[in-house]
C-alpha cells in the first residue's frame, strides 16, 4: 500500500500545557504521533513511502470558506503584530459570541480567534503550513486511489475531522477527509466516508449534512458523555437532500469488540448500500484500550476492523485522525492497513 507523508507536520508543535479534567497536562497531538506511525509502517514494509504533491488552495477552498482560510493563513502573524508575542508563542482563542445575538465578525485578532474556532486549540506560526501540507498528503493518496490503486494511506497531521467549514477545533484545522471526498466528487466519483475515530467527526458531518452524494457514517463515543458533545447522536440522519446520508453509531464508554463489531457490521451495510466508487476512512485509532478514557479495542481488533473494511471491496483512502498512546499507535495503524491488504 502506498503511504504518503511529509515532515512539514513538525511545523505545528504545540508545547503549552492544556487543561484536562482540571489538570494541566502536556499536549498529546504532537509530532511523535506521526513519527511512531511512520516507523511502524516502515518496519512492516507495507509499500512505497512518498512525499505529497502540491495541490494548491483550490481543493481546500471547495470545503472551507475563503474567509476562514484567509484567517488561518495569517492569524499568527496578525496576533504577533497585535500582542508583541514571540514567534514561538501560541495564540489561543479566549472569547466566543453570545448565541442568538446579531454579532459582527470581529476585526481584532483576539475576537477573530474565537469567531473562527469552536474549541481552545492554539494557532502557531507553522499551523497553516502544517495543515495545508496535511491536505496535500491526503489529496496525493486520493489521487493514487482515483487512478486505480486499491488503497492508499495518508499520514495526516494535524488531523482534520473536527474542522468545520469555517472553524477549527479538536486539534483539527483543515478537514482532510472532507477535502478528499470533495476532490473525488469533483471528478465524478460517488463517495462514502467511514469515521472510526473515538470522537465523532462533527466537522465532517456539518460539511455534508445537506447532501446525498456523500455518505457519512461514524462510530464513536456517545456525545452525551464525551467530546465533541453537541453532535453525533443516532437521530442525526441528514437534512434536506441529505436525509438518510448521515448515520451515527454512538457507543458507551468501555465498548469492546463484542459490542463494537455489530455496529461496524451495520455501518458497513450502510456503506455498501450507498455503492460508493471510493471510500474515505477517517482512521482514528484512539479507540484502543491503551488510550485514556476510550473504548477497549485491542491490537487484534484493529486487524478485524481492517478486514471488515476490505470486505467492502471498495477503493479506499485511509486518512489519519486520532490516536494518542505512542506505545501502540503505530501497531494499530499497521494492523488495520495490513489486514485491508490481506
Q: Which residues are catalytic?
A: 162
- C-alpha 18: how far from chain center: 20
User: Is 129 buried (19+), middle (13-18) or exposed (0-12) by CB count in 10 A?
Assistant: middle
Calpha distance 243→8 (Å, rounded) = 39
Calpha distance 128→186 (Å, rounded) = 24
3-class state of residue 39 by DSSP: helix
3-class state of residue 225 by DSSP: coil
Calpha distance 29→322 (Å, rounded) = 8
Helix, strand, coil shares of the chain, percent, nearest 5, are: 40, 15, 45
Amino acid at each position: 500500500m502506498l503511504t504518503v507523508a511529509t515532515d512539514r507536520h513538525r511545523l505545528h508543535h504545540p508545547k503549552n500545557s492544556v487543561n484536562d479534567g482540571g489538570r494541566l497536562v502536556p499536549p498529546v497531538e504532537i509530532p511523535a504521533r506521526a513519527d511512531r506511525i511512520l516507523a511502524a509502517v516502515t518496519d512492516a514494509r507495507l509499500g512505497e513511502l512518498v512525499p505529497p504533491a502540491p495541490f494548491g488552495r483550490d481543493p481546500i477552498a471547495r470545503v472551507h470558506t475563503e474567509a476562514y482560510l484567509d484567517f488561518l493563513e495569517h492569524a499568527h502573524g496578525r496576533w504577533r503584530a497585535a500582542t508583541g508575542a514571540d514567534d514561538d508563542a501560541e495564540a489561543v482563542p479566549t472569547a466566543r459570541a453570545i448565541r442568538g445575538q446579531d454579532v459582527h465578525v470581529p476585526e481584532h485578532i483576539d475576537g477573530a480567534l474565537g469567531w473562527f474556532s469552536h474549541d481552545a486549540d492554539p494557532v502557531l506560526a507553522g499551523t497553516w503550513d502544517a495543515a495545508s501540507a496535511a491536505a496535500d498528503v491526503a489529496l496525493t493518496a486520493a489521487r493514487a486511489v482515483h487512478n486505480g490503486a486499491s488503497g492508499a494511506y495518508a499520514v495526516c497531521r494535524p488531523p482534520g475531522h473536527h474542522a468545520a467549514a469555517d472553524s477549527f477545533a479538536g486539534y483539527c484545522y483543515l478537514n482532510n477527509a472532507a477535502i478528499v471526498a470533495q476532490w473525488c466528487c469533483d471528478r465524478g466519483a460517488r463517495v462514502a466516508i467511514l469515521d472510526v475515530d473515538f470522537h465523532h467527526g462533527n466537522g465532517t458531518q456539518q460539511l455534508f449534512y445537506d447532501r446525498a452524494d456523500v455518505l457519512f457514517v461514524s462510530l464513536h463515543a456517545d456525545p452525551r458523555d464525551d467530546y465533541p458533545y453537541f453532535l453525533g447522536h443516532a437521530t442525526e440522519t441528514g437534512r434536506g437532500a441529505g436525509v438518510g446520508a448521515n448515520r451515527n453509531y454512538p457507543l458507551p464508554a468501555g465498548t469492546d469488540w463484542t459490542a463494537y463489531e455489530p455496529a461496524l457490521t451495520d455501518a458497513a451495510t450502510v456503506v455498501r448500500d450507498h455503492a460508493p466508487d471510493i471510500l474515505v476512512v477517517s482512521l482514528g485509532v484512539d479507540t484502543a484500550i491503551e488510550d485514556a478514557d476510550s473504548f477497549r479495542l485491542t491490537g487484534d481488533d484493529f486487524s478485524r476492523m481492517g478486514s471488515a473494511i476490505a470486505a467492502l471491496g471498495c477503493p479506499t483512502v485511509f486518512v489519519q485522525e486520532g490516536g494518542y498512546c505512542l506505545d501502540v499507535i503505530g501497531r494499530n495503524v499497521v494492523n488495520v492497513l495490513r489486514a485491508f491488504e490481506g
